[in-house]
Structure 1
Amino acid sequence: MNLTLSELEASGWIDHKTRAVFIEFIVYNPNCNLFSVVVLLAEFTAWGKVDTSVKATTVRLLYTTTWSYIVLGFQIIFVLITFYYFFKEMRKVLLLGSGYFKMFWNVVDLCVCMLSLAEIGVTLYTSYLLVDFNRPHHKTTQPYSKYHQATSWYTIKTYVLGCLVCLATLKLLKLCLFNKFVERGAKVTKMAARPLCGFMLIFAIVFSSFAMLAFLLLGDSLEGYSSYISTMQTMLQMMLGSFDYYRVEGAHWILGPTMLFAFLFFFNFIIILMFLAILDEAYHSVKGEERLNGKSMNRKIADLASKRLENLLKTRNSSNDSKCIQGVPDTEEEKCDFSTLNNIAPLSRNGGEQQAEEGIYGKRHIESSHKRRSFFDLVCGRRSEKRSSNYEIRLLHYRPTSDVEARDCATCSDRYLEYAPEQTSTETRL
C-alpha cells in the first residue's frame, strides 16, 4: 500500500490539491463463503485536517454449498407465493375499487405484496451482476465496480427485507384480534387517532422550538449540537434520561442549565401526561361501549372455537352413554330378571303400583306421593310434575326383544320408573 501511494505521489495524482484518497479492496473467505468489500477514505479539509472513514460490507453472494441451494429452493417457493398473493390482491382491487383502500389491513397486504416484488427484483439484479464471477477464467476490465454495485444493491435488499418483515409481523395483530386485549388495543388506537394527531402537532412545534434554542446556544461548543439534526437526536436521548449536564453547564453556565431543566420539565410533566390522558379517555370510552354492546363478533367466534376445542379434548365414557339403549346391566344388583315387566299392565293408582313394586323389588315400598314416569320422559328430560329432591330414581333396564324396539326408544315409553323416598340425597342408578 505504501508503494502504491508513493507511485501515485510520484506520478502527480496526490499533491497539495488532493482532497480525498480512496483505497478499495476485496477479501473472500471460502470456508464460510463470505465476501468483504472494504473502502478506506482519507479526506483532506481546507485547513489541512485529514478525516478518515472505513466502510466494510460483508455479504454472501454465491451458491456453492448444500445449504445455499436449500435457501435457493425456499426463495423459489417465496417467489411463487408472492405472485399468487399479488394476483389475489389485484383481483380484490378490481372488484372493490376505491373501497379496497378504505380498510387498513388491505393496504398492509398490498404493501407486503409490493415489497415482496421489490425484494425479488433486487435479488435477481444482484445475481445478474455477479453471474460472471462464478467463472474463474473470466476476466473483466472493471473487477471492483461490479462488486461495489452488488454490495450496494445487497444493502438495498437488506433495507427492503427489513420493511417487509416489519409489515408481515404487524399482520400478526390481525390474527390476534380474537384476543380481547388485542382487540381492545386496536379499538383504543382507532378512537384516539384524531386526538393523537393534534397531540403530535403540538409535540412537533414545542420540540422544534427547544431544538432551535439548543442549536443556537450550544452548537458552537458541543459536538452533539453541531447540526440541527444531531441536536434533535441529542434531545430525544435527553427525554430518555441520557445527557451530560456538566458539559452543558460548561458550554453556557446560565442558559444551558435553564434550557435543560425547562425542556425536561415541559416534556416529562406536561406533554407525556397529555399523551397518557388521551389514551386513558379512549380506553374508558371503549370499555363503556363494550358494556353496552356486549361481546363483539371476534369474541363470539373465539368463545365458540374454545368450546369446540374443549369438547373435542374432553374424554367421554361411551359405555355409560349407550347403556340405556343396550340395556346391559353392570352390577349383580342389576342382573335380575325383569321379565315380569312385560306382565305389568296399567293398574289403578292404589293397588296396581304396589303389585308392580312387589313383582320387581320383592318387597313393598310404603310411600305417599310417588309418581310414575316413562323411560322416554326421563331421557328427554320432561317433567310434568315436580318431585321432591329426596327421592331415589331406580331406572329399570329393559332388554329389547326385536331390532325394531332396539332402534326406537319410543317402545320403552310403556315401561315405568318407580320413585322410592330417600332420606339423604338423590342418586341415579343406570
Structure 2
Amino acid sequence: MRHSVLDCQAPYSWDVEDMGSYGPGWNSSAHTNVSLPPSPWQYQSQGKLRAPPTWGSVVLYRGGGFVADLGPDLETAMSVLQYLFDNTWLDVYTRAVFVEFTVYNANINLFCIVTIMMETAAVGAFQFYSKLQAVRLYQSTGGLSAFVMASEAIYFLFILYYMFVQGKLMKQQKWEYFRCKWNLLELAIIILSWSALSVFIKRTLLGNRDMEFYHDHKDEFASFYDTAAADSVLGYLIAFLVLLATVKMWHLLRLNPKLHMITATLQRAWTDISGFIIVMIIMFLAYSVASNLMFGWKLYSYRTLMDAVVTMVSLQLGIFNYEEVLDYNPMLGAFLIGTCIVFMTFVVVNLFISVILVAFSEEQQYHKPSEEEEIVDLMLMKICSLLGIKCKKQEKDEGKENNCTASVGKKAPVD
C-alpha cells in the first residue's frame, strides 16, 4: 500500500526518518536559513543535540530531530508554542514528541532531569511516558563534606591494601585462587570499587561540562542527559558494592554464635526454601501475565510484562495504586488483587516463614558450635582470666564442675 497510496502514514524507522530542512508550515520550497540559531523546521543531528538514542514503548528513536527551544520564561514559551501551533508543527507525519527540561532544588541540592515523551504508531493515538532522574552535581555542599571525602579516601586506602593482599594470594595459589568463592568476592569488590571511582570521575567531568555550557548559553537548553546516565550507572555500582560488602560482613561475623546459628538454620532448611522460591516465582509470573493481558493495553503500570512484574512486587510491599485497577474494571480488578494478597501474602509467605522457624527450632536442639567458634571462646576466656574478669562461659563451666563434684562426693548410707 505504500507504493499505491502516495500519502501513506508509515511507522517510524531510521530508514524513513525525515532529515530535511523546511520553512514554516513544512514548506519545502520556502527559503531556509541555516544560520544559528536553527529553525524548528530544520533537522538537527544527534551529535549537535548531544542526545543519545531513546527507547520508547513502540520503537528506538534516533537522538536527532526537529527542535524548538521554548526559552527561559513562560511568555517566550507561550509565544513559541503559539507560533508552532499556527504553522502546524505537529502533523500526521509526527511519530514522537519529546519535552525535556531541567530544574534545580537548592534546598536539597538536587538537579532533576525530566523527559516527557508522547509517541504514536501511525494510528493517531499518542502514548504518554515520563522519566525523572535526580542528580547531585554540587558534591561539596553541607557540613559533612570533609567527613565524606575523608571516608572515601580511607576506603580506597583499604582497597589498595586488599589489592596487595589478593595479589600475593594470587601469586602463591595461582589457578587455585579462583576456586575459592571468598577470593572471588574480594576480587569483585576491588573491581567494582575502581569501576565506581572511574564512573564518579566521569560523572564529575560531564557535570562540569554541562554546567559550563549552561553558564555560557543561558538562553539555550542545556542537556544533562549524559551526566544523569553516568550517575545512574554509579548508583547501580554502589548498590552492588553494598550487597557484596554485606555478604563479606556476614562472613567476617561468622564467629558470632547467633549469626552462625542463623547460617546453619538456612542451610538446614535450604531444600524447602528452594521449593518455596520456585512456587513464588511461578505465582508471580502467573499474576504478572494475567494483569498484563487484562490491563496492559489501558493502564500504564501493566503496559509490558516487566512493568507488570514490578507492580506485583510493589503490591506485596504495600506500594500499589488500587484505584486505577478498580476504576478500570471493578470485578476483575478486585478479584486479581484479592486473590494475589490472599495466596501470596497470607498463604505462601507465611508458609515460607514457618519453614524457617521449624528449621530454627530444630537447629537450636541439635546445634553444635564450630571449631572457629570454640577457638574464639577459648581466646576470650584466656584474655578474661589474664585481666581477672570472669566471663559467662567460665561461670557456666564452673557451675557444671561444682555439680559434678557434688554428685561424686556423696556418701552412701551404711546398713
Cα pair distance change 1:72/1:267, threshold 3 Å: closer
Aligned to 2:20: none
Query: Aligned partner of 2:378: which letter?
Result: L
1:176-210 deviation line (CA, Å, top 9, x unaligned): 22221100111222333344333322322233234
Q: Within 5 Å, which residues of 2 pair with 1:193-208?
A: 193-208=270-285
Aligned to 2:239: 162
Cα pair distance change 1:210/1:42, threshold 3 Å: closer
Query: Aligned partner of 1:201: which letter?
Result: I
After the TM superposition, which of the residue ranges 168-177 and 51-60 deviates more from structure 2? Answer: 51-60
Mapped pair 1:57 → 2:57: no
After the TM superposition, which of the residue ranges 167-176 and 89-98 deviates more from structure 2? Answer: 89-98
Using the alignment, how far apart are the partners of 1:73 and 1:207 within structure 2?
Answer: 44
Aligned residues of 1:93 and 1:100 also touching (Cα < 8 A): yes
Aligned residues of 2:137 and 2:207 also touching (Cα < 8 A): no
Cα pair distance change 1:94/1:284, threshold 3 Å: farther
Aligned to 2:76: 3
Normalising by structure 2, we get a TM-score of: 0.57
Aligned to 1:299: 373
Residue from 5, 11, 14 that aligns with 2:89: 14
Aligned residues of 1:33 and 1:60 also touching (Cα < 8 A): no
Cα pair distance change 1:64/1:83, threshold 3 Å: same
1:101, distance to aligned residue in structure 2 (A): 4.7
Aligned to 1:89: 166
Cα pair distance change 1:262/1:140, threshold 3 Å: closer
1:156-194 deviation line (CA, Å, top 9, x unaligned): 223322322332233322232222110011122233334
Query: Aligned partner of 1:3: which letter?
Result: T
After the TM superposition, which of the residue ranges 188-197 and 42-51 deviates more from structure 2? Answer: 42-51
Query: Aligned partner of 1:114: which letter?
Result: I
Using the alignment, how far apart are the partners of 1:161 and 1:123 within structure 2?
Answer: 10
Query: Aligned partner of 1:15: which letter?
Result: L
1:41-67 deviation line (CA, Å, top 9, x unaligned): 363656466847463534134669997
CA RMSD of aligned residues (A): 4.6
Listed as ranges, the gaps of 5+ residues in structure 1 are: 317-430
Residue from 258, 268, 285 that aligns with 1:181: 258
Normalising by structure 1, we get a TM-score of: 0.55
- 3-state secondary structure, aligned to 1:300: helix
Q: Within 5 Å, which residues of 2 pair with 1:162-311?
A: 162-219=239-296, 224-239=301-316, 244=322, 248=326, 251=329, 253=331, 262-268=339-345, 271-272=348-349, 274-276=351-353, 278-280=355-357, 282-283=359-360, 286-287=363-364, 289-290=366-367, 294-311=368-385
Identity of aligned residues (%): 19
1:256, distance to aligned residue in structure 2 (A): 5.6
Aligned residues of 2:257 and 2:369 also touching (Cα < 8 A): no
Query: Aligned partner of 1:107: which letter?
Result: L
Using the alignment, how far apart are the partners of 1:73 and 1:223 within structure 2?
Answer: 44
Using the alignment, how far apart are the partners of 2:143 and 2:104 within structure 1?
Answer: 22
Q: Within 5 Å, which residues of 2 pair with 1:16-415?
A: 16=91, 17-18=93-94, 19-25=96-102, 27=104, 34=109, 36=111, 38-39=113-114, 41=116, 43=118, 45=120, 47=124, 51=128, 53=130, 55=132, 57-61=134-138, 68=145, 71-97=148-174, 99-129=176-206, 147-219=224-296, 224-239=301-316, 244=322, 248=326, 251=329, 253=331, 262-268=339-345, 271-272=348-349, 274-276=351-353, 278-280=355-357, 282-283=359-360, 286-287=363-364, 289-290=366-367, 294-311=368-385, 313-314=387-388
Using the alignment, how far apart are the partners of 2:231 and 2:341 within structure 1?
Answer: 41
Aligned residues of 2:137 and 2:204 also touching (Cα < 8 A): no
Cα pair distance change 1:206/1:98, threshold 3 Å: farther
Using the alignment, how far apart are the partners of 1:275 and 1:55 within structure 2?
Answer: 36
1:297, distance to aligned residue in structure 2 (A): 1.9
Query: Aligned partner of 1:311: which letter?
Result: S
- 3-state secondary structure, aligned to 2:369: coil
Using the alignment, how far apart are the partners of 2:225 and 2:336 within structure 1?
Answer: 46
Aligned residues of 1:177 and 1:183 also touching (Cα < 8 A): yes
Aligned residues of 1:221 and 1:251 also touching (Cα < 8 A): no
Query: Aligned partner of 2:198: which letter?
Result: G
Q: Within 5 Å, which residues of 2 pair with 1:408-423?
A: none
1:284-328 deviation line (CA, Å, top 9, x unaligned): 5544653xxx43223213322432453355379xxxxxxxxxxxx
- 3-state secondary structure, aligned to 2:132: strand
Listed as ranges, the gaps of 5+ residues in structure 2 are: 1-72, 391-415
Query: Aligned partner of 2:190: which letter?
Result: C
Using the alignment, how far apart are the partners of 1:289 and 1:20 within structure 2?
Answer: 66
- 3-state secondary structure, aligned to 1:24: strand
Aligned to 2:406: none
Aligned to 2:3: none
Aligned residues of 1:224 and 1:234 also touching (Cα < 8 A): yes
Cα pair distance change 1:121/1:146, threshold 3 Å: farther
Using the alignment, how far apart are the partners of 1:240 and 1:154 within structure 2?
Answer: 27
Cα pair distance change 1:163/1:57, threshold 3 Å: same
1:88-130 deviation line (CA, Å, top 9, x unaligned): 2243344335544554433332222121111111122233435
Aligned residues of 1:42 and 1:53 also touching (Cα < 8 A): yes
1:239-279 deviation line (CA, Å, top 9, x unaligned): 467774996598263x6655555544544565335534543
Using the alignment, how far apart are the partners of 1:108 and 1:146 within structure 2?
Answer: 38
Cα pair distance change 1:128/1:210, threshold 3 Å: closer
Using the alignment, how far apart are the partners of 1:116 and 1:94 within structure 2?
Answer: 22
Using the alignment, how far apart are the partners of 1:83 and 1:168 within structure 2?
Answer: 16
After the TM superposition, which of the residue ranges 42-51 and 107-116 deviates more from structure 2? Answer: 42-51
Cα pair distance change 1:246/1:181, threshold 3 Å: same
